[in-house]
Structure 1
């Protein structure tokens, strides 16, 4: 994972973690990255000082990553408990809800990258739910 210092068009600075530089570019292009302060999708990398990892720093990073994974796991669990599972009909149902053709409610399910991109283009707010290896056990 690579941490990038990011900046939006309003000069808000924040950080993001990505698998690699191409992953960052793809996510920005598909509007999966937005400023947490103003929701702008016009995001670019900001200059940042390189950091050298020490064993103590690596331990702190590992603890922080573990805590973040636990929090993401809990968030996904709450979404699943309080939303309707719509399976592969996710894109269609999300669009119906967005345009007032179906009752307003939380949903989750599966969507292809093209379907997600189309939803974002239509102004539908979507967010991927993390799936962890032990979710399938």
Structure 2
């Protein structure tokens, strides 16, 4: 995974994770990147500082009172946390069966309902080509797989 600092044509800056540099380029060419703040589809990489890992005793932990990892630190993180709560409250998590379940709902073989889960980039592309409305979520899954 690689994290890029991105910027839209309106000047909004945000970060996003991609499976690889090629993954970013493929989404960019397909016009599937949009601003996390305003929705603009004119998005490019912005200048990034190198990621330097602090010494082990300086890393924030969930018990670190200065910056708990689970506490949103700014308005954007608060909005994403609220979005996540709403999605998890109002949809069914189907895990790695997302593509199969989305196709079944789209074809009428499963009851219509909101779902969220995980899909490979190629699966998402195929679903979009089939006319199945899907979109990436701007956060990582917290559920443990195994």
In structure 2, the partner of 1:109 is 117
SS, match of residue 8 in structure 2: strand
> Superposed, which structure 2 residues align to 1:35-74 within 5 Å?
66-74=74-82
In structure 2, the partner of 1:5 is 9
Give the TM-score taking structure 1 as reference length.
0.57
Greater helix share, 1 or 2?
1
User: Gaps spanning 5+ residues in structure 1: where?
Assistant: 7-13, 46-64
Pairing 1:32–2:32 present:
yes
**Higher RCO structure, 1 or 2 (CA under 8 Å, sep 6+):** 1
How many pairs were matched up? 108
User: Gaps spanning 5+ residues in structure 2: where?
Assistant: 44-72
Give the TM-score taking structure 2 as reference length.
0.54
User: For the aligned residues, what is the CA RMSD?
Assistant: 3.8
Cα distance 1:81–1:114, how it changes in 2: closer, same or farther (>3 A)? same
Deviations 1:41-80 (A, max 9, x none): xx656xxxxxxxxxxxxxxxxxxx8211211111111111
Would you say the 8 A contact 1:90–1:108 is kept in 2? yes
Pairing 1:123–2:131 present:
yes
